[in-house]
Structure 1
Amino acid sequence: MSPIEAAEVGAVIVFYHPDNACIERANRVGRMCRCVVVDNTPAGSAENEARPLLDPGIAYLPNGRNVGIATALNQGVAQLIADGRMFAMLFDQDSEPTEELIGELTSVLRACEQRHERVAVAGPAYEDARLRGVAPFVRFGYFRLKRVMPVGEVPLEVDFLITSGSCINLACWSEVGPMDDALFIDLVDTEWCMRAHARGYRVLGVPWVRMSHELGGKPIRAFGRNYPMHSAVRHYYLFRNVVALLKRGYVPFSWKSTELVKLPARLLIYILFIPDARKHVQMALRGLWHGLAGRMGTL
C-alpha cells in the first residue's frame, strides 16, 4: 500500500486470552496500517498483559472482561472513525492478514466509491485446511444456502461475509449502524450484512483474495461432510441468536427458511457425533428458550 492508501485504512483486532502468536500477528498488522486492539480478556488473567508486548503505535483498549465480539468491534471501529479512517479491516486474533489482503480489499471499495456504488463491505475467500481448502461464498436460498465458488476477477454479490478479514466502508457506518451488541457473539456478521442489504447496500466477495482462517474449533465428520465445531456455550448463543433473528422483519425469509431446516439438523449432529452430546443439546435448547423469551446479551 502507498502511504496515502495506508492513511485511509485501519484494522480492528479483538483479543480473548491471546497467546504470543496472536500478539505478533497484531504487531505485523500495526506495521501495515493503523491498528486498534480491543482486549476482551478478563482482568487478572495471565493473558491480560498484552500491552507491554504490543508495538507502541497500536491503540490498546482493554475491557477487563468479555463484552462480546459485537461490542468490541464497535469500540474499535469508533476509534478508527475518530482517527479519520475511511475503511476498517476486521480481524480475529488467529487470522493471518497480509498487506496484499488489506490493499486489494480497500482498492475494491475505493473503486466502488468512485463509481458511486453503495457497497458496505468486501471480504476475501478464506482457506481452512481442516475443512479441505477454500470455502465458497454464500447467498441465501429457500431452505438451503447457495454456495458460490470464489473464482474470477470480478467481485461477487453475496449475502454475508464472515467478520475476520472483511473490510467495512465506514461511509455507511452511521446509516447501517454498529454491530448488534445484544447478539454478543455468533451471527453478528450475518445480521450486520442483512441490515446493510435492507438499507440498500451491497456485500461483495472478492474471489481473487485469500486469507488463512480457522472457522470454529476442531471439525467433526458427519453425514459425509466436515462441520466446524464449537463449545456448548457457543451453541447456546447460536441457537438463541437464530431465534432472535427469525423474529426480525428485515431478515429475509430465504435465510429464515434455511435456519428452520438447519436447527433440528444441528441438534441431530450434536446427538449422534459429539461425545458430550447431552451438554450441547441442553445449551442449545436453553438458547432456543432464551431466544423466544427475548433474553439477549451475555449468558
Structure 2
Amino acid sequence: MVSENQNHYNVAAYITAYEDASALNDCLTAIRSQFYPIKQIIIVDNSTRSLERSEANRADDRLLTWHHPENIGIAGGMTLAIQWAVQHEYDFLWTFDQDSAPAPDCLERLLQAYAELATEDYAIGMMAPTAIDARTGQTVKPSRFLGDRFRGFLPDNAISPYECDAPITSGALVWLQTVDRVEPPDIGLFIDGIDLEYGLRLRQAGFHNLVVPGANMYHRFGEPFQVELFGKKKVFQLYSPLRYYYICRNHTYLELRHSNGSYRLTCCLRRMKFLLLTLLKILAFDSDAKPQKAIACIIGTYHGFLGKLGKTW
C-alpha cells in the first residue's frame, strides 16, 4: 500500500543498456510492474544498434530513449539522466543497470523507508534495495571505506535500514537535491566502481546512504563459478577482459585516491595482492582468453596507479 506520506514523490527511473535486448526488456518489465507509479523511464542505449524492445514496452509512452552508439558508459549515462531529472524537477532518480530486476514492491518499500527516516537533520543521499545475485542467491554486500580499501559487509540479522558508504547504484534511489552539493558520477570511471566513488562522495558531503532489508532487487554480475576450497564452497565471479581492466583500474584508482598518510602504502600493497590473487583465479578457474584477461588486469592496475581514467580499453 502506498502511504499518504510518500504518494507525492515524483520518481523517474533510469537504465543503462548495452547489447542485450533480453536483459533490457526484463528490467523494463520489472520497473513497469512497480506498485508505486513511475512517471518517466529513461534509457541510455550504448549499443551499436538500438536494442529492440518488446511490444508491451514499446507501447509504454513513459519511455524516453537516448541512443549513444559511441558508448558513454554507466557513469556517462547516469550523469545525463540525473541532469535531465533535475531540470524536470523530479524528487528521485531510480538508477539501474540492465541486468537488474526489482521486486514489484521494491520502490514502494524504498520510499516508505525514506518517508520514515529522512529529516532536516538526517539527509539521505541514496536509498538502496537489498541486492541479490540472481544466479547464486547470495546477497550482494554494500561497502564501507576502511582507510585504505572498500570492503563489503552485511549486518547481523538486519531488520531495519542500515547505513553504508556505498551501495551498488543499480536499484539505488537517488535524492536529487543532493546535486546542489555533490556532482553526478565521475564519467572517467566509465563502467565500474561508479557506486563506490559516488556513494562515498555523498557520505563525505554529509548525506546518509541506506540499504533497506525487504526491498529486494535481483542482479546478474559476471559468470559465477563455484569451487570447494578446504571443505568450504566458494563462488568466484569471472569476467571479460574489458571488465577485468576496469575493475582493476578503477578500484586501484579510487582506493589510492581516498587513502591518506601510511594508508597509501598499505593500499598499494593490497592492490598488488588483489592483482596476484585475481591472476591466480584466472589461471586456475577460467577456461577462456586467459592471456587477455591476465594482461587486462595488469594494465588496469598500472593505469589505476597512474590515475589514467576515461574509456581507454
Q: TM-score, normalised to structure 2's length?
A: 0.82
Determine if the alignment matches structure 1 residue 61 to structure 2 residue 66: yes
Q: 1: CA distance between counterparts of 2:123 and 2:260? A: 19
Structure 1 residue 102: Cα displacement: 0.7
Give the corresponding residue for 1:244: 253
96, 111, 116: which one aligns with 1:91? 96
Return 5+ residue gaps in structure 2 as ranges. Answer: none
Determine if the alignment matches structure 1 residue 78 to structure 2 residue 83: yes
AA aligned to 2:10 is E
Q: Would you say the 8 A contact 1:70–1:185 is kept in 2?
A: yes
After superposition, the Cα gap between the structure-2 partners of 1:102 and 1:288, relative to the gap in structure 1 and judged at 3 Å, is same
After superposition, the Cα gap between the structure-2 partners of 1:106 and 1:23, relative to the gap in structure 1 and judged at 3 Å, is same
Structure 1 residue 136: Cα displacement: 4.0
Determine if the alignment matches structure 1 residue 229 to structure 2 residue 231: no
> Could you list the per-position Cα deviations for residues 132-184 of structure 1 after superposition, in whole angstroms to 9, with x for gaps in the alignment?
43334443447783521473332111121112111111111231211110010
Give the corresponding residue for 2:286: 274
Give the corresponding residue for 2:165: 159
- Determine what percentage of the aligned residue pairs are the same residue: 24
Structure 1 residue 7: Cα displacement: 4.7
Which moves more between the two structures, 11-20 or 212-221? Answer: 212-221
Give the corresponding residue for 1:215: 221
Return 5+ residue gaps in structure 1 as ranges. Answer: none
After superposition, the Cα gap between the structure-2 partners of 1:249 and 1:152, relative to the gap in structure 1 and judged at 3 Å, is closer
Q: Would you say the 8 A contact 1:125–1:150 is kept in 2?
A: no
Q: TM-score, normalised to structure 1's length?
A: 0.86
After superposition, the Cα gap between the structure-2 partners of 1:289 and 1:243, relative to the gap in structure 1 and judged at 3 Å, is same
RMSD: 3.0
Structure with the bigger percentage of helix: 1
Q: Would you say the 8 A contact 2:167–2:195 is kept in 1?
A: yes
> Could you list the per-position Cα deviations for residues 178-202 of structure 1 after superposition, in whole angstroms to 9, with x for gaps in the alignment?
1110010111111111111222222
Q: 2: CA distance between counterparts of 1:176 and 1:97? A: 26
Structure 1 residue 27: Cα displacement: 5.0
Q: Would you say the 8 A contact 1:138–1:159 is kept in 2?
A: yes
Structure 1 residue 25: Cα displacement: 3.5
Structure 1 residue 290: Cα displacement: 2.2
Give the corresponding residue for 1:295: 308
Q: Would you say the 8 A contact 2:106–2:216 is kept in 1?
A: yes
Q: 2: CA distance between counterparts of 1:199 and 1:8? A: 24
Q: 1: CA distance between counterparts of 2:11 and 2:183? A: 19
> Could you list the per-position Cα deviations for residues 74-121 of structure 1 after superposition, in whole angstroms to 9, with x for gaps in the alignment?
111222212211111111112112341111112222333335312211
SS at match of 1:148: coil
Equivalences, count: 296
Q: 1: CA distance between counterparts of 2:169 and 2:270? A: 21
After superposition, the Cα gap between the structure-2 partners of 1:63 and 1:2, relative to the gap in structure 1 and judged at 3 Å, is farther
After superposition, the Cα gap between the structure-2 partners of 1:144 and 1:159, relative to the gap in structure 1 and judged at 3 Å, is closer
Give the corresponding residue for 1:123: 128
Q: Would you say the 8 A contact 2:144–2:150 is kept in 1?
A: no
Q: Would you say the 8 A contact 1:184–1:298 is kept in 2?
A: yes
